Amino acid sequence: MDWLASLAAASGPIELWSGNAPDRVGADVTVRRLPPYDNSSAASRLVTWSRFTLAATGQLLRRRDQVPLFVVTNPPLMPLAARWLRRVQGRRYGLLEWDIYPQILAPMGLAGPKHPLYRLWRRSHAGALRNADLVITLGDHMAAVLCEMAGEGPLPLLVAPNWVDVDWLKPWPRQQNPFVQEQGLEEKLVVLYSGNLGATHAIETILETARLLADEPRIAFLIIGEGSKRGLVEAAMASGETPTLRLLPLQPAARLPQTLSSGHIGIVTLGAGYEGLSMPSKSYALMATGNAILGISRPPNDLSDTIARHDCGVNFQPDQPQAIAAWIRGLLADPTALARLQSQSRTAALTNYSTAHCTALLNDAVSAALLDGPKQAYPG
């Protein structure tokens, strides 16, 4: 939302078409409500993707202007609609590829490369890429997947990471952090996982690492979240084999600066099969709050590359809990090394992932590719 307000201030009024946006984004951003997103099941996702896409397409067909579109790939059917609208109306468009479909359907267990829906979707998405005036994605590996899918000639492609509010999310002195005080974490080295405990997340690796470090009372494994694997965490705690493990429900969004800055080491996972298809945005929030990053993924991918590029942590594969435990023990024994990783995380967030830096990249790209005509309201 910060970006849209920034773009509107620079380029003129914008319409944000969304099912889940706040009522007010900025003085020059008008919110238009469409069917909201429901991710409670695979079926509900498909239904709400379809409802949103049909509603947006129907409204755009009734418009007689040539206002360009900038489409975010949630819902992921919208790039296909944008390509069709260009054929019918000559309407220009750009794409922001946060997750890459249909490839991501395979690790989700919904449809593999031989499925007719997958093959049709892939061909249609390839056409949408080739006909776009601008394609933006989050990392180099994702960019390579898009280029391979498009298949013909160079794409008008920009790699621009997601951003984080580095003024809101920042390191918080432990003695002044109410959450740290409430949880009694002042003297603990906190290994933090905050977010979805879903089927694709390497929760088993985290639990095994906690079991291997059960003899170290100076460490606290703190898991904050909900999801299908919450039961695994509860079972591990009930077994008595993970005495350093704590589990909390999701906390109010307003407490995010406190909860994230309670960690010394922040865990980010990328499920098998998602390499090159997604980049966990929580990485930037954990970096902004000064966590050393423990990545759990199968490289090469954009998560492991980001950690290596900034030397702000280490990425391990999911089958390496013993190596993870040894690394954490090493940081517990060497506070200077831990402090260096934490500092480099924060510096990377300030330099590369701040709202100001990333929105400037997007503003320049969108303005050059799509907003070169008279100023008017542009659907977001």
User: How distant is the alpha carbon of residue 375 from its chain centre?
Assistant: 31
For residues 223 and 244, the answer to whether their CB atoms sit within 8 Å is no
- Strand arrangement, sheet containing 69-72: 69-72, 93-97, 134-137, 157-159
CA dist., res. 366 & res. 21, Å (int): 21
pLDDT attached to residue 184: 96
CA distances from 169 to 26, 138, 175, 214, 349 (A): 21, 20, 17, 30, 10
pTM confidence score: 0.90
What's the rounded Cα separation, in Å, for the pair 367 and 365? Answer: 6
CATH code for residues 2-163+355-379:
3.40.50.2000
Query: Rounded to whole angstroms, how far apart are CA atoms 267 and 295?
Result: 6
| Two structure tokens written together for 20 | 């889940």
**DSSP-derived secondary structure for 261-291:** TT-SEEEEE--TT-TTT---THHHHHHHTTP
Return the number of other C-beta atoms located less than 10 Å from residue 260's C-beta.
Answer: 26
CB neighbours (10 Å) of residue 181? Answer: 14
CA–CA gap between residue 143 and residue 161 (Å, rounded)? 12
CATH 3.40.50.2000 residue ranges of the chain are 2-163+355-379, 174-352
Q: Any idea which architecture 174-352 has in CATH?
A: 3-Layer(aba) Sandwich (3.40)
Q: What pLDDT is stored for residue 64 in this prediction?
A: 87
Residues 143 and 98 sit within 8 Å (Cβ to Cβ): no
E strand segments, the chain: 14-18, 29-33, 69-72, 93-97, 134-137, 157-159, 189-194, 219-224, 245-248, 265-269, 292-296, 313-316, 378-379
Between the alpha carbon of residue 322 and those of residues 209, 318, 325, the distances in Å are 7, 10, 5
pLDDT in tens, the chain (380 residues): 678 888 888 888 889 999 887 766 777 888 888 999 887 777 888 899 999 999 999 999 999 888 999 999 989 999 999 999 999 999 999 999 999 999 998 888 888 889 999 999 999 999 999 999 999 999 999 999 999 999 977 899 999 999 999 999 999 999 999 999 999 999 999 999 999 998 889 999 999 999 999 999 999 999 999 999 999 999 999 999 999 999 999 999 999 999 999 999 999 999 989 999 999 999 999 999 999 999 999 999 999 999 999 999 999 999 999 999 999 999 999 999 999 999 999 999 999 999 999 999 999 999 999 986 433 344 44
